[in-house]
Amino acid sequence: MYKLDKLTARISFAALLALSTHTAFAQSDSAKYPGIGRHATMAEVAAWDIDVRPDFKGLPKGSGSVEKGQAIWEAKCASCHGTFGESNEIFTPIAGGTTKDDVKTGKVASLKDMKQPQRTPLMKVPTVSTLWDYIYRAMPWNAPRSLTPDETYALVAFILSLGEIVPDDFVLSDKNIAEVKMPNRNGMTTKHGFWNTKDKADVNGSSCMRNCVPFVQVGSTLPDFARNAHDNIAEQNRMYGPYRGADSTKPPLAKLPGASGEGLAHAKDTHSSAKKGPAALFQSENCSACHAPNAKLVGPSITDIAKKYDGQSGALDKLMTKVKNGGAGVWGSIPMPPQAQLSDEDRKTLVTWMLSGGK
Amino acid sequence: MTKKQIEISAQDIEFIEKPANQARLVKAPEHFISQELIADINANGLDENRRGFLRKGFMSALGGAAAGLTAPLAMAAGEGDPAILEKQEWQTTLGKNVATMPYGMPSIYESNLIRRESPGLTRVSAASVAFTPLQGLFGTITPNGLHFERHHQGWYNLNPETHRLMVNGLVKNPRVFTMNDLMRLPSVSRTHFIECGANTGLEWGNVAVPTVQYTHGMLSCCEFTGVPLKVLLEECGADLKKGKFMLAEGGDGSGMTRTINLESCLNDTIVAWAMNGEMLRPENGFPLRLVVPGVQGVSWVKWLRRLEVGDMPWNAKDEAVHYIELMPDGSHRQYASIQECKSVITTPSGGQQLLDKGFYNVTGMAWSGRGKITRVDVSFDGGNNWRTARLETPVLNKSITRFNIDWVWDGSPAILQSRAMDDTGYIQPSIKTLRNVRGTRSIYHNNAIQSWKLDSNGEVSNVQVG
Question: How far away is chain B from the Cα of A92, in angstroms, using its nearest Cα?
Answer: 9
Pair (B120, B259) in one structural domain = yes
Expressed as residue numbers, the domain containing A160 is 63-179
Contact predicate B336/A192, CB 8 Å: yes
Percent of chain A with pLDDT over 90: 55
In angstroms, the CA A122 to CA A118 distance is 11
* Residue A236 to residue B351, Cβ atoms within 8 A: yes
Separation in Å, CA of A48 to nearest CA in chain B: 8
Q: Is B203 within a domain?
A: yes
Substitution target in B81, B96, B303, B332 with the highest count of A β-carbons within 10 Å is: B332
pLDDT of the residue at A117: 82
Q: What's the whole-number mean pLDDT along residues B263-271?
A: 96
Q: Which residues have a Cβ under 8 Å from the Cβ of B439 and sit 6 or more positions away? A: B326, B327, B328
Core vs surface per residue B420-432: b (16+ CB within 10 A) or e: bbbebebbbbbbe
| CB pair distance less than 8 Å for B415 and A114 | no
From chain B, the residues in CB contact with A180 under 8 A are none
Looking at the partner chain, which of A1, A217, A222 has a beta carbon nearest the beta carbon of B461? A222
- The mean pLDDT of B201-223, rounded to a whole number, is 97
Average pLDDT rounded to a whole number, residues A89-109 = 91
Q: What separation in angstroms does the CA of A133 have from each of A120, A130, A141, A155, B314?
A: 18, 5, 14, 12, 10
Distance, in Å, from the CA atom of B137 to the CA atom of B132, rounded to the nearest integer, reads 9
Are residues B140 and B43 part of one domain?
A: no
In a domain, A215, yes or no: no
Give kind and range of the element (H or E) at residue B437.
helix B431-438
Nearest residue in A to B461, CA atom: A222
* C-beta atoms of A213 and B383 within 8 A: yes
Digit-coded pLDDT (tens) for A234-243: 999 999 999 9
Q: How many residues does chain B have?
A: 466
pLDDT for the residue B47: 57
User: Which residues on B lie below 8 Å from A255 (Cβ)?
Assistant: 456-457
The answer to whether B331 contacts A107, with C-beta atoms less than 8 Å apart, is yes
Q: Which element (helix H / strand E) includes A220?
A: strand A218-221
**What pLDDT, on a 0 to 100 scale, did the predictor assign at position B50?**
52
pLDDT, tens digit (0-9, with 9 covering 90-100), for B333-361: 999 999 999 999 999 999 999 999 999 99
Angstrom distance (rounded) from CA A256 to CA A266 = 16
Q: Mean pLDDT, chain A, as a whole number?
A: 86
Reported as type and span, the H/E element at residue B14 is helix B3-17
End-to-end CA distance of chain A, in Å?
63
pLDDT at A90: 75
Interface of B with A in 305-334 (CB under 8 A): 305-306, 308, 310, 312-317, 320-321, 324-334
Looking at the structure, tell me whether residues B171 and B24 fall in a common domain: no
Pair A39, A71 in one domain:
no
Nearest-CA distance A28 → chain B (Å): 9
Predicted local confidence at residue B38, as pLDDT: 54
Across A152-156, A273-277, B457-461, least confident range: A273-277
* Radius of gyration (C-alpha) of chain B in whole angstroms: 29
CA B427/CA B76 separation, integer angstroms: 57
In chain A, what residues touch B99 (CB-CB under 8 Å)? Answer: none
Q: Is residue B98 in a domain?
A: no
B59/B57 Cα distance (integer angstroms): 6
Measured over all CA atoms, what is the biggest interatomic distance in chain B, rounded to whole angstroms? 92
Q: Is residue A174 part of a domain?
A: yes
> Looking at CA atoms only, how far is residue B91 from chain A in angstroms?
11
Question: Does residue A84 or residue B20 have the better pLDDT?
Answer: A84
User: With an 8 Å Cβ cutoff, are A230 and B116 in contact?
Assistant: yes
Question: Minimal CA–CA distance to A257: which of A267, A268, A245, A249?
Answer: A245
Instruction: Indicate whether B326 and B362 sit together in one domain.
Output: no
Q: What is the mean pLDDT of residues B311-323?
A: 97
Give start and end residues of each alpha helix (H) in B276-341.
Answer: 317-320
Please, where are the H alpha helices in A23-173?
42-48, 66-76, 78-81, 100-105, 121-124, 128-138, 149-162
CA A22 to chain centre: 39
B460 vs A: CB within 8 A: yes
Residues A97 and A39 in one domain: no
- Number of other residues whose CB lies within 10 A of the CB of residue A254: 6
**Cα(B414)–Cα(B383) distance, integer angstroms:** 11
With cut-offs at 50, 70 and 90, classify the pLDDT of residue B416: very high
Compute the half-sphere exposure of residue A314: CA atoms within 13 Å on the CB side of its CA.
2
Quote the domain boundaries for residue B32: 3-92
B72 and B143 both lie in a single domain? no
Q: Is the pLDDT of residue B61 over 80?
A: no
Q: Which is more confident, A165 or A350?
A: A165
Instruction: Give the Cα-Cα-Cα angle B445, B334, B226 (nearest 5 degrees).
Output: 70
Which one-letter amino acid corresponds to residue B172?
A: K
pLDDT at B5: 39
In sequence order, what are the beta bridge partners of B178?
B164
Q: Is residue B100 part of a domain?
A: no
Does a structural domain hold residue A194?
no
Q: Report pLDDT for B77.
A: 56
Residue B306 forms part of a structural domain: yes
Instruction: Say if the Cβ atoms of A252 and B457 lie within 8 Å.
Output: yes
| Predicted local distance difference test score (pLDDT) of residue A205 | 97
Judged against a pLDDT cut of 70, whether residue B65 lies above it is answered with no
B400 and B439 share one domain: yes
Residue B227 lies in a domain: yes
Residue of chain A whose alpha carbon sits nearest to that of B443: A119
Contact B348 A243 (CB under 8 A): yes
One-letter amino acid at B99 equals A
Final residue before a domain boundary, out of A179, A198, A223: A179
Which of B312 and A349 is assigned the larger pLDDT? B312
Q: For residues A157 and A169, give the distance between their C-alpha atoms in angstroms, rounded to a whole number.
A: 9
CA–CA distances in Å: residue B248 to residues A116, A125, A295, B30, B147: 34, 20, 56, 64, 22
Check if the beta carbon of residue A33 is closer than 8 Å to that of residue B235. yes
Q: Find the mean pLDDT for residues A16-28.
A: 45
| Residues B306 and B192 occupy one common structural domain | yes
Going edge to edge, which strands form the sheet with B164-169? Answer: A38-39, B175-178, B164-169, B304-310, B245-250, B257-261
**Smallest CA–CA distance from B119 into chain A, residue:** A230
Half-sphere exposure (CA, 13 Å, Cβ side) for B290? 32
Q: Note the pLDDT of residue B35.
A: 56
- Mean pLDDT, rounded, for B82-103: 91
Question: What phi and psi values does residue B191 have, to the nearest 5 degrees?
Answer: -95, 125
> Residue B76 has what pLDDT?
55
Residues B182 and B329 grouped into a single domain: yes
**Is the bond leading into B287 cis (omega within 30 degrees of zero)?**
yes
Categorize the per-residue pLDDT at A204 as very low, low, confident or very high, splitting at 50, 70 and 90: very high
Mean pLDDT value of segment B323-332:
96
Mean pLDDT value of segment B416-438? 97
Cis? peptide before B394, omega within 30° of 0: yes
pLDDT score for A270: 63
pLDDT above 70 as % of chain B: 83
Q: What percent of chain B has pLDDT over 90?
A: 77
B313, B319 Cβ separation under 8 angstroms: yes
Is-contact A151 A139, C-beta < 8 A? no
Give the model's confidence band at B289: pLDDT under 50 very low, under 70 low, under 90 confident, else very high. Answer: very high
CATH at B427: 2.60.40.650
Task: Give the closest residue to B376 by CA, choosing from B333, B426, B431.
Answer: B426
The answer to whether residues B265 and B369 belong to one domain is: no
Tell me the chain A residues in contact with residue B429 when contact means C-beta distances shorter than 8 Å.
203-205
B340 inside 8 A of chain A by CB: yes
Closest approach of B278 to chain A, Cα-based (Å): 23
CB-CB: which of B234, B384, B459 is closest to A246?
B459
Residue B271: its pLDDT value, please?
98
B373 touches chain A (CB under 8 A): no
Q: Give residues 57 to 86 of B whose Cβ lies within 8 Å of A.
A: none
> In 3D, which of A192, A77, A54 has the Cα closest to residue A133?
A54
- CATH (domain of A175): 1.10.760.10
To the nearest whole angstrom, how far is the Cα of B191 from the nearest Cα of chain A?
A: 19
Name the band, by pLDDT with cuts 50, 70 and 90, for residue A8.
very low
- How many domains are there within chain A? 3
Residue of A nearest to B308 (CA): A49
Q: Are residues A97 and A17 part of one domain?
A: no
Q: How far apart are CA B317 and CA B328, in angstroms?
A: 22
Residues B61, B56: Cα–Cα separation, whole Å:
9
- DSSP per-residue codes, B193-253: EEE-TTTTGGGSSS---SSHHHHH-SEEEEEEEEEEHHHHHHHTTB-TTT--EEEEEESST
Structure confidence at residue B21 (pLDDT): 42
| Chain B residues with beta carbon closer than 8 angstroms to that of A125 | 320-321
- SS3 call for A42: helix
Task: Read off the CATH number of the domain in which B258 is found.
Answer: 3.90.420.10
Please indicate, yes or no, if residue A98 is contained in any of the structural domains: yes
Same-domain pairing of B324 and B347? no
Question: A249 in a domain, yes or no?
Answer: no
pLDDT tens string B23-54: 444 444 444 445 565 555 556 655 555 554 44
Domain boundary among B286, B306, B333: B333
Q: Look at chain B and report how many structural domains it folds into.
A: 3
Q: Does residue A92 share a domain with residue A33?
A: no
Q: Tell me what pLDDT residue A328 has.
A: 80
Are A111 and B326 an interchain contact pair (Cβ–Cβ within 8 Å)?
A: yes
In the predicted model, is pLDDT for residue B456 greater than 90?
Answer: yes
Whether A213 contacts B466, CB under 8 Å? yes
- pLDDT recorded at residue A279: 82
Rounded to the nearest angstrom, the minimum Cα separation between A116 and chain B is 11
Size of interface A-B (CB pairs under 8 A): 384
How would residue A30 be classed by pLDDT, with cut points 50, 70 and 90?
low
The percent of residues in chain A predicted with pLDDT above 70, rounded, is 89
Q: B248: closest CA among B318, B179, B180?
A: B318
Mean pLDDT throughout B123-146?
A: 93
Q: Which of B133, B317, B464 lies nearest to residue A219, judging by beta carbons?
A: B464
Residues A44 and A87 in one domain: no
DSSP codes, B373-420: EEEEEEESBTTSS-EEPEEPSP--TTS-EEEEEEEEE-SS-EEEEEEE
Residue B166 CA, chain-centre distance (Å), reads 32
Identify the residue among A27, A55, A204 best suited for mutation to test binding to B, counting B beta carbons within 10 A and taking the highest. A204
Position A235 in a domain: no
Q: Do the chains contact at A218 and B458, CB–CB below 8 Å?
A: no
With beta carbons less than 8 A apart as the criterion, state whether B17 and B89 touch. no
Q: Is residue B109 part of a domain?
A: no
- The verdict on A72 and A175 lying in the same domain is yes
Cα angle B157, B159, B164; round to 5: 120
- Average pLDDT of the residues of chain B: 88
